[in-house]
Structure formats: C-alpha cells, structure tokens
Structure 1
C-alpha cells in the first residue's frame, strides 16, 4: 500500500469519519459565515482557484458553493472575471486579496474536509475503474478485494459501492454480490439521446460565467492533438473529452442538470481509457475536428454556433456507435483492477 493511501486510511478511521455533509455545503457554510461577519468585506473577489486551494477540493464543489452564495445574494458575478465578488452591488474597486488570509477554517470542518477528500479521492479512482469496463461485458466487484486494494475498511468499501449504485454504474443482485455492466447498445443510445437534448442547453448556461482563458487553454490542447502521435494516446483523448464535456459543459449553474449529465456522460467518456491503441480508430480525427469547432466558436463568443456544433458532434458520435463497439479490442485481465472479475 502506498503512503498516501495508508495516510488516507488513518484519516478515514478518525472520529470525523461519520460526517456525511457534501463538501460544497461545508465550503458554503464557512464562506457565508465569513461574509456575514465582515471577514470577507464587500467588494472582495473570491476566485474558484483560491477556494479549491484553500479547502483542498475539486472545482465542482467550489462552483456549487459559489453558486449557492450567489443565489442567496451574498455575492455577485462580474464577467469576464472568474469567480464572484462579495456584496450585491457592482463596485469599481474590487478587492483582490489572499483568501487564506481572510478565512479561518474551523478545526472540525478541516477534519471533515480531510475525511471527505480521501473518500472522494478513492471514489474517483473506483468510479473510473468500473466505468471504463462497462462496454466490455459483465463484471463482479468484490468488496473485500476493493477494501484491501485501497487499504480501507469494508464499511468504507460498501459506502463506495453505494455511491456507484446511485450514479447507475453498479447494482447489488439477489445473491448480495455487486455487478457492473454490460453496457448494451440500446442503453448507450439512451445515454446519447439524453446528452443530445441536455448538453447544448448546459453549454449555453455555462458560458454566462466561463473564463475565456479556460476555453483558450482547451482549444490549444485540441490543436496539439491533431498530430498522429497524439491521436494514438488514449489518456490524451480522454483528457480532450473531459475538457469539453465535463470542465466546460458541466460548468452550468443548474445542479440537477449537472448531475443528470454526469451520469449520462460517465460510462461513455471514461471507456476511452480502456480502448487500447487508437491508431486504427477512424472516428478520432473527426472527433478532434468537432471539438475544435465547438471550442473555436466559444473562443469567438459565438455561443449559439458552439451549441449547434456540440449537438452535431453528439449526434455523429451516437450514429457511429455500432461500428465503434464492434471494433473494440478485447479487454485483457491485466487492464482490470484486482477487485474486478469477469462474470
């Protein structure tokens, strides 16, 4: 077991391990309290990066917390600035300061965040492992092997499986064993249908507060991926999918929309990691062209054109699925995590 996971096991076994609040709720509570007390003065700029660094969390919990602050009238947006400004009235003199110098984390909240961070760190890895095998058949997840692999208790392993069940990746059958897959063509068609209906709307909503630098950075990565060498790198191609469909599209402010789309995207996007070599996959160049079109429109401020290009991209992907599935290489046992068994 590596040092980080050993440390994580010790944290997870601590007294705060029973906490079940969502991380964005913890962050919102602390920031709201500091705004009410005046520790974060009117006009102070709270940037997403500062929130993720201070609390040690990912982008989405930070976005959710800041969106809630905005909905409650404690902060407002000032496009194209990334982040929010304390107060309801726009100011000509925003205050740019060190968030960590203004916000003190209560010891209880800090301990709770550590526990949740380790749980989420492990969960993200399990989620990726399971989602990436769904197209390749039916698999049993052995909870004891899962616990041993990550060096956590069986209680935590069971909690991780319940979270996977909530997003529709696994199910517990009558024999009390946990199974994932197979992801059949009809189900894939349903997932794409949902994405075609919802992702363009989510993109329009996300662009209200999107940072231009974030879009340009992802456009540069797509342009760099046009080389043959880059197109044969599954991890890079997975990164391109996450860049557009997760980092940008899921930047929408509607939490229900985000969660629904995430569940629909997860098996389709993560499966790229298990495809092996992309060298012979004829759809990859077209995928890159479509991503470049969407991001190019976004960089130029053409939101409607970007939404239309995104819908065309998803429709093409959905139409090409039968051929793509038929051409998938077999999944070797070496590619499976030790807690996954072909069923």
Structure 2
C-alpha cells in the first residue's frame, strides 16, 4: 500500500479501508457475497480498485473465495451459507471523509487521461512549466484535485518539481530515455518473475489471442490498443508483486509508455508487427509457466523498444511544436 504519508490514498486503498473497517467491526453479515460490480457502483468507481481491495482482503483471510463469483464474508472460515443481497442494504456505509476523498479521486480520474496525454506530448517538444491554477480553472476542478493529478503524473515520472517547487514537464532527451530504459531492463524482468505466480492464466490467454489476431490483420490496430497492450504487460502484470518500493520505481520510469502515443500521433502508426510479436512471446511463455524465458524475452523486447524509441525521438526533433493548453507554459 501507499507508504508516503503525504501522497493521497489510491482508490483501492480507500475501498480496502472501508471494507476492512466494516469487517473488523462485524458490520457485514456472515455469508454476505461480495461482488465487484455492485461494490464499484456503491463507491462510484471502476471495478479495478474494487478487485484489488477484495484480493487484499482475501490474502489477509478477512474474506474467502466464493464457489460462485466473488467473495464471501466468513468469520469462521468454515462452510458459510452464502447470502445475496443489495450491498446498500448490507450495512455498508461510506464515512464522510471517505466520501469526500472518493469524490476527489473521481474528479481527478475524469481529467487525468487528457492531462497525461498533453503533458507527455509537451515533454517531447521541450521544457514546460505546469501552471496549477490554470489547470484547475481549465478543467473546472479544485486546486486539490489539480494537485492530485500532478501527484499521479509525478509518480509515473511524467513531471518533476523544480528547485523553486514548480511542476515541470520535459525536456525528453535521448540521454534521459536511455537511463529510463536501463532501469526498466534491470527491474521489469525481475518484477515479472515475481509476479508470474499471481497472474491469471485466462486473462493472459485472452490478451495473447487478441495480439495474435492483430498480428495477422492490422486493420483494427490503433494507438489506443497498442497503449493498452503496453500497460497490460509493463504495468498491470508487474504491479502484482508485493515489493512496493520496486513498483514505485517502475512507475516512475513509465514516460516511454506515455510518449509512445505521442510518436504515433505525430509520426503516424508505424509497422508495429515486431512490438506485437515481442509482447505476445512474453505472454506465451508466461502461459507455459516458462518464467525465466519470459523474463529473458522481456529484456529482449525492452532492448528493441529502446532502439525504436530513440530512432523516433530523433525524427521527432524536427517536428514543429503544436499549440498546447494554457496550463503548459514553455520555458528554457
């Protein structure tokens, strides 16, 4: 979980805390079936943070896997009779401080994607200062929400704090990119090996099949799908490990993932057959439980990705900068 006392709690941490507190206080009935969908609707969030929170509670044996879908509340760990009821009538409530925090997180989630794309794009064109007040005004959110967004961008290595405590994006240089790839080649294969036992083979197989289909026919291949594949392999799979310091460092070196979409937007969608093939090979080996081979394949993929990225960065240097939103101010 988040170990930085100054950082805002992540959504899954908020969901986990509420459910844990209710379980510890015996406020949820024995046998209550907990499903991701209804809980996500109750919290006003997506299923992903709920899934993570339920997995954590299951690992702590606060809830048990249910023979059907989801989990079941069981204080005894024995044969509990499942109770299916509306989660809103189960005794689950949302404390005031959590309610406000959830609203804040929902606000930053709503605007995060657009801001991330624009910041990553700007970084490729030079050094930009991020004007926090303008960002908040432009997206009609509070300064607190704006800071939440910037904090998330900082976690992923997309922005930095200057010596005068101003938020800065870029410049994206070849030297910086090489450093990030060196870190990724050291950490990501080790993280993948640690995460392998926790990966769902059905999910891996579905993603592998999707990649194979697009390899054979690129007609439906889009930058968004490529980004989805990147995030699945380099983020979702790797975040399954328990070493939170390692996951934090991995997240801080994800600028190459964010800038890949920028390159595709301004340089066009190049032949991505190699990228798809490299991703698919890693998944194939994970499905076969050849973990060491999968880690080695990931190293090979990152080495190839580094070469492709540096080549695109060189071409990108002659592309004129577009007009960015007013919250991005070009600096020297």
Tell me the TM-score normalised to structure 1 length: 0.76
Q: For residue 179 of structure 1, give the secondary structure of its aligned residue in structure 2.
A: strand
Aligned: 1:218 with 2:211: no
Q: For residue 198 of structure 2, give the secondary structure of its aligned residue in structure 1.
A: coil
Of 184, 190, 194, 1:201 maps to: 190
Moved more, 93-102 or 198-207: 93-102
Alpha carbons of structure 1 residues 224 and 332: separation in structure 2 relative to 1, 3 Å = farther
Of 162, 174, 177, 1:185 maps to: 174
Equivalent residue number for residue 251 of structure 1: 240
Equivalent residue number for residue 258 of structure 2: 270
Aligned: 1:238 with 2:227: yes
Alpha carbons of structure 1 residues 167 and 281: separation in structure 2 relative to 1, 3 Å = closer
Aligned 8 A contact 1:141 1:339 in 2? yes
- How much is the aligned-residue C-alpha RMSD, in angstroms? 3.6
Deviation at 1:258, TM superposition (A): 2.4
Of 303, 318, 324, 2:291 maps to: 303
Aligned 8 A contact 1:132 1:272 in 2? no
Q: For residue 183 of structure 1, give the secondary structure of its aligned residue in structure 2.
A: coil
Of 105, 119, 122, 2:111 maps to: 122
How many matched pairs? 319
Of 257, 272, 289, 2:277 maps to: 289
Whole-Å Cα distance in 2 between the matches of residues 98 and 304 of structure 1?
45
Whole-Å Cα distance in 1 between the matches of residues 259 and 158 of structure 2?
12
Alpha carbons of structure 1 residues 92 and 175: separation in structure 2 relative to 1, 3 Å = closer
Of 115, 120, 126, 1:137 maps to: 126
Whole-Å Cα distance in 2 between the matches of residues 111 and 316 of structure 1?
45
Equivalent residue number for residue 23 of structure 1: 11
Deviation at 1:197, TM superposition (A): 1.9
Aligned 8 A contact 2:62 2:74 in 1? yes
Alpha carbons of structure 1 residues 102 and 253: separation in structure 2 relative to 1, 3 Å = farther
Deviation at 1:196, TM superposition (A): 1.6
Structure 1: segments with no counterpart, 5+ residues: 1-18
Which string of whole-angstrom CA distances, capped at 9 and with x for unpartnered residues, describes residues 24-83 of structure 1?
3332222223333162536x665555554442334664355345435544246799x996
Equivalent residue number for residue 3 of structure 2: none
Alpha carbons of structure 1 residues 337 and 221: separation in structure 2 relative to 1, 3 Å = farther
Alpha carbons of structure 1 residues 39 and 88: separation in structure 2 relative to 1, 3 Å = closer
Equivalent residue number for residue 229 of structure 1: 219
Aligned 8 A contact 1:34 1:40 in 2? no
